[in-house]
Amino acid sequence: MWVRKRSLWWLNKLSPFQLIALFYLSAVTISSILIALPVAHQPGVELAFIDILFTAVSAVSVTGLTTVSTVDTFSTTGIFIIAFVLQFGGIGVMTLGTMVWLILGKKIGLKERRLIMADQNQTSFQGMVRMVKEIVIVVLLIEFIGFLILGTYYLQYYEPAQAYLHGFFSSVSATTNGGFDITGQSLIPFKNDYFVQFIHMVLIIAGAIGFPVLIEVKQYLLKPSHKKIQFTLFAKLTTFTFLVLVVVGALIIAVLESNHYFAGKDWHEILFFSLFQSVTTRSGGLATLPISEFTGQTQLFMSALMFIGASPSSVGGGIRTTTFALVIIFILTFARGESNIKIFRREVHNEDLNRAVAVTMMAVITCFVAVLTLTITEPYDLNKLIFEVCSAFGTTGLSLGITAGLSTFGKVILMLLMFIGRIGILTFLFTWKKDRKSKSYHYPKERIIIG
Amino acid sequence: MWVRKRSLWWLNKLSPFQLIALFYLSAVTISSILIALPVAHQPGVELAFIDILFTAVSAVSVTGLTTVSTVDTFSTTGIFIIAFVLQFGGIGVMTLGTMVWLILGKKIGLKERRLIMADQNQTSFQGMVRMVKEIVIVVLLIEFIGFLILGTYYLQYYEPAQAYLHGFFSSVSATTNGGFDITGQSLIPFKNDYFVQFIHMVLIIAGAIGFPVLIEVKQYLLKPSHKKIQFTLFAKLTTFTFLVLVVVGALIIAVLESNHYFAGKDWHEILFFSLFQSVTTRSGGLATLPISEFTGQTQLFMSALMFIGASPSSVGGGIRTTTFALVIIFILTFARGESNIKIFRREVHNEDLNRAVAVTMMAVITCFVAVLTLTITEPYDLNKLIFEVCSAFGTTGLSLGITAGLSTFGKVILMLLMFIGRIGILTFLFTWKKDRKSKSYHYPKERIIIG
Ligand SMILES: [K+]
Ligand SMILES: [K+]
């Protein structure tokens, strides 16, 4: 007992945010070792250390940016390893860690619960343990249904074993918003198969809309009387913002490309191309067309969408949808000269606004510095660098095809961005400060989750 | 009397911010007419309407972006007209308007005083009239000294009449941060004349550091006992930020170009090139080298410097130095988990922070939308468009040479940015709302000026 206590004493000195960073770093290390195993590679393939590390960071952060072609580099074993890492990264190291504790029959202490809270940005202690269970069950259920539908549907394209392997990998990669593909060219082979695209969009949204929303929807659907369930302000705001971004994003992409990539295409092609590419910027990372053939203005617009990213407490990154919504509401309220901010008949906490603002400012500065640094070391056009930086920060994984060609230094910059994007810039910010009795954990009123 | 009252009754319905916008629009109209006069042009020159308007907006907003060469297009009369418009724009339409009222012996009412306050962002009623007088005296004094020094010094380069014309125009253009030149190539002819550069830097800084700082420095210098003068928090913060930006900006420019434009150059050339180009991004707009020969990374970095801009209550634009400082302080304080923001042993008002944050967010969104729009209509590279947009928003006037080649639509976008940059995004924001008994005008504590 004494030895164990002694060997772990330093863990208690870390703040929850520092612990999360530490756990993610451990996950990257373990994933790197797994990915480096010779059995994970295709015969004859040799991976450089930087590419192993990049793949591990990209998989743990469920980004999907790659410096090597997944299908040409990894064996079937390797593909299962990546799917496992995506799963692990998507559901969150903390959540899984808690599950292990649960399975081992241990009681979850205050410190551990706070850890999960910070990771999933939950501000209420109650129902934490129950929620973690629910997260895992819901995600696995969604993935299993996706696997069955896609695997069975793929029988028309592949041999049975291949069909279900593709179905399994697609379902995991879409639901965790992993963005990895084993077709070698994302979803482009299915650009005319709207059913495959539709299923992928549903799975991506399920992963990116945020676990709390999924849980609330589940509760709503399972309750005998629907009237008893009151959706939280958070669920309403994040879902509303998410859907507005998807619809407005698709519309603007359709307009921007109407005289370019979409010229001469049928309405249903334009609809699915626009919609899928809009959905995928939330953090999916799969694409049904080569984004590099879009015009510069569409790429810049998609960069902004990726910068905003997915909902908090989801598998996605970026500044998060709620943060974006609060910033917009803040500006509008300020311009109208009002001081209290109200949405959906609730008043927003000032501290939440400060968080939203701090997250956004910090993100803008971080991405700007990253882009500026890359312009020094990389020979690519500015719009390509902006796109890749936003894709990494939003843990989206879309690429204009330059990631493989980056210098080692450039790859390190993208890895840092994926890491920051995944753990959230707020966590990243708080990693550097001491845990001060964590004032922010006991608010009486209803709160909005930021970043 | 009755007729006059009736014809002006609608003026009282406007908020101070709307009045400022209205006055600036009037100034642009009058300037356009003056610039369109045939006597202002070189023989045989015909100016398109859009170019007349662009020159007027650029001069009123003291930006200095041009779609035509000033020296090839305008006669000596035209040059004097532009110098007059720069003067008018630089000191501020409101300030001059108040001077006219003073000269006519009229009492300045509450409404008019509020107007000047909003324009110069002054939050205290006291000493307003006195301050306006001081502004004009100080600026004219600085310009006159600049004219004498430069005109006399230029005798070695030009005929006496030409020397003093150049001295006059240079002094006005530098002090008002007008950014116009009559050499046809900015200050590049003086790239080896460090005396000319030094005088220009001093004049640019005098205009961009903010009138309140100049007044306080003057008071400090004129008082018999120096100990009695306590510099305001605003003066300390804006001067500190301004100087940090100049020094750090010069250092980073020197590093970014060390292996490119500065390769093989002497230390004193690098020192003056870096320092002048850093100073000029505050809002000067003159340059001692062709900025288009800088590398992409330096141009991107200078874009950020121009976006920040000059001090509030100065001749410059952008989000302003104090806004930038408060945002940085806000992020640092937030990251450290503190709630009160203190600088120079004073506490910062929350409302000022909200202003700083709102201004910055709004500016980022405005510039992003402008860049995105220009990528659709203009055939230039993204980094060139970003540079030109930041130059217009910061009313800096530096150019990578694409302004003349923009479409009419593109020119309109830049004109809007110069207008917003000059009147300040806060004024622009408030132009759209009704004057609600102007709560923000009577704070008891010491305030920081934003935007
Ligand atoms: K992704
Ligand atoms: K200027």
Residue of A304, A433, A436 with shortest CB distance to B368: A304
What residues of chain B lie within 8 A of the CB of A357, using their CB? 330, 357, 361
CB contact at 8 A, A420 and A392: no
What residues of chain B lie within 8 A of the CB of A335, using their CB? 358, 362, 429-430, 432-433
Instruction: Work out how many CB contacts closer than 8 A connect A with B.
Output: 89
Which residues in chain A show pLDDT less than 70?
Answer: 1-17, 93-129, 131, 224-229, 338-341, 345, 427, 429-451
Helix, strand, coil percent values for chain A (each to nearest 5): 70, 0, 30
Between these two residues, B380 and B44, which has the higher pLDDT value?
B380
Query: Counting ligands in written order, which one lies closest to the CA of residue A65?
Result: 1
Residue of A354, A372, A430 with shortest CB distance to B297: A372
At residue A350, the pLDDT reads: 73
**C-beta neighbour count of A42 within 10 angstroms:** 13
**C-beta neighbour count of B202 within 10 angstroms:** 17
What is the C-alpha separation between B342 and A91, in angstroms, rounded?
Answer: 40
At residue A106, the pLDDT reads: 44
Q: Judging by DSSP bridges, how do beta strands B342-343 and A342-343 pair with one another?
A: unpaired
At residue A232, the pLDDT reads: 77
What is the C-alpha separation between B387 and A221, in angstroms, rounded?
Answer: 52
- Percentage above 70 pLDDT, chain B: 78
Residue of A337, A354, A382 with shortest CB distance to B334: A354
pLDDT averaged over every residue in chain B: 82
- End-to-end CA separation in angstroms for chain B: 38
Containing H/E element for A346? strand A346-347
At residue A309, the pLDDT reads: 92
Angstroms from A411 CA to nearest CA on chain B? 18
- At residue B246 the predicted structure's pLDDT band, cuts being 50, 70 and 90, is very high
Most A-contacting residue of B295, B357, B436 (CB-CB within 10 A), to test interface: B357
What is the C-alpha separation between A129 and B424, in angstroms, rounded?
Answer: 51
Interchain CB contact of B327 with A (< 8 Å):
yes
B156 token code pair? 């070695």
Which of A173-182, B203-212, B234-243, B384-393 is modeled with the greatest confidence? B384-393
B8-58 pLDDT tens trace: 556 556 666 677 778 788 889 999 999 999 999 998 888 899 999 999 999
Containing H/E element for B342? strand B342-343
CB contact at 8 A, A30 and A432: no
B129-176 pLDDT tens trace: 676 777 788 889 999 999 999 999 999 999 999 999 999 999 999 998
Between these two residues, A414 and B329, which has the higher pLDDT value?
A414
Q: Judging by DSSP bridges, how do beta strands A342-343 and A346-347 pair with one another?
A: antiparallel
At residue A441, the pLDDT reads: 35
At residue B314, the pLDDT reads: 79
CB contact at 8 A, A280 and A396: yes
What residues of chain B lie within 8 A of the CB of A253, using their CB? none
What residues of chain A lie within 8 A of the CB of B432, using their CB? 335
What three-state secondary structure class fits B347?
strand
Interchain CB contact of B49 with A (< 8 Å):
no
A122-169 pLDDT tens trace: 544 455 667 677 778 888 899 999 999 999 999 999 999 999 999 999
What residues of chain B lie within 8 A of the CB of A337, using their CB? 430, 433, 436, 439
Chain-chain contact of B436 with A337 (C-beta, under 8 angstroms):
yes
What residues of chain B lie within 8 A of the CB of A16, using their CB? none
Query: Counting ligands in written order, which one lies closest to the CA of residue B89?
Result: 2
- At residue B96 the predicted structure's pLDDT band, cuts being 50, 70 and 90, is low
Taking the centre of ligand 1 as the mean of its atom positions, its distance from the CA of residue B207, in whole angstroms, is: 49
Taking the centre of ligand 2 as the mean of its atom positions, its distance from the CA of residue A21, in whole angstroms, is: 46
Interchain CB contact of B304 with A (< 8 Å):
yes
DSSP lists the bridge partners of residue A74 as: A41
Between these two residues, B347 and A237, which has the higher pLDDT value?
A237
Chain-chain contact of A439 with B337 (C-beta, under 8 angstroms):
yes
Taking the centre of ligand 1 as the mean of its atom positions, its distance from the CA of residue B337, in whole angstroms, is: 31
Chain-chain contact of A372 with B433 (C-beta, under 8 angstroms):
no
* Burial (0-12, 13-18, 19+ Cβ within 10 Å), A263: exposed
What is the C-alpha separation between A410 and A401, in angstroms, rounded?
Answer: 14
What three-state secondary structure class fits A31?
helix
Interchain CB contact of A188 with B (< 8 Å):
no
A150 token code pair? 């896609």
What is the C-alpha separation between B148 and B164, in angstroms, rounded?
Answer: 8
- At residue B312 the predicted structure's pLDDT band, cuts being 50, 70 and 90, is confident
Q: Tell me how far CA of residue B169 lies from CA of A146, B286, B360, in angstroms.
A: 72, 13, 33
Interchain CB contact of A436 with B (< 8 Å):
yes
Task: Tell which B residues from 224 to 283 touch A, by Cβ distance under 8 Å.
Answer: 256
Angstroms from B77 CA to nearest CA on chain A? 43
At residue B22, the pLDDT reads: 80
User: DSSP label at B349?
Assistant: P
Half-sphere exposure of B99 (CA within 13 A, CB side): 14
At residue B3, the pLDDT reads: 47
What is the C-alpha separation between A410 and B74, in angstroms, rounded?
Answer: 49
Interchain CB contact of B438 with A (< 8 Å):
no
At residue A322, the pLDDT reads: 86
What residues of chain A lie within 8 A of the CB of B364, using their CB? 364
CB contact at 8 A, A353 and A334: no
Backbone angles phi, psi at A41, to 5 degrees: -100, 155
Interchain CB contact of B370 with A (< 8 Å):
no
At residue B435, the pLDDT reads: 44
What is the C-alpha separation between B302 and B290, in angstroms, rounded?
Answer: 13
At residue B228, the pLDDT reads: 61
What three-state secondary structure class fits A343?
strand
Between these two residues, B390 and B419, which has the higher pLDDT value?
B390
